[in-house]
A = this chain, B = another copy of it.
């Protein structure tokens, strides 16, 4: 019984890994890497983040992040402002160009999802989303994982 549960979860994980791969495909074929896209995403929705915060959120190496941010700076995708309160920290935000870049990625992503899930009926789409939401709720509610 317990083992059955584990097996089913694993099967779902494999399955969904594949779906995510398909849906992320456009990023692979864009000029951004997956980590780069995630950084753009976070900065789009939460301008003013610091590098440290990004590191925590995305669980990535700070050296690695530092380099990506430098490149993004050079390409004028993100602005970097030394914090007033603490001159060690740099607050980050997308420039207009950065936002535009993200929006392009985002539209491609929308299309990818539409293509993947598009031929579900209105009713099925709704049912699907409900199940997804429930799964999220169940997992987070049970605190199960410290979801940073």
Binding site for B on A (CB under 8 A): 1-3, 5-6, 8-13, 15-23, 59, 109-110, 113-114, 116-117, 119-120, 122, 124-129, 131-136, 138-139, 142-145, 147
The oligomer's copy count stands at: 2
Report which of B20, B120, B133 forms a contact with A8, defined as CB distance below 8 A.
B133
The answer to whether A132 and B20 touch across the interface, beta carbons within 8 angstroms, is: no
The answer to whether A144 and B119 touch across the interface, beta carbons within 8 angstroms, is: yes
With A6-B113, A8-B133, A10-B113 given, is the CB distance from A124 to B144 under 8 Å? no
Docked Cα-Cα span, A119 to B145, in Å, equals 10
Q: How far is the CB of A8 from chain B (nearest CB, A)?
A: 4
Q: How far is the CB of A46 from chain B (nearest CB, A)?
A: 14
Closest 4 CB pairs of A and B: A12-B132, A8-B129, A131-B131, A5-B125
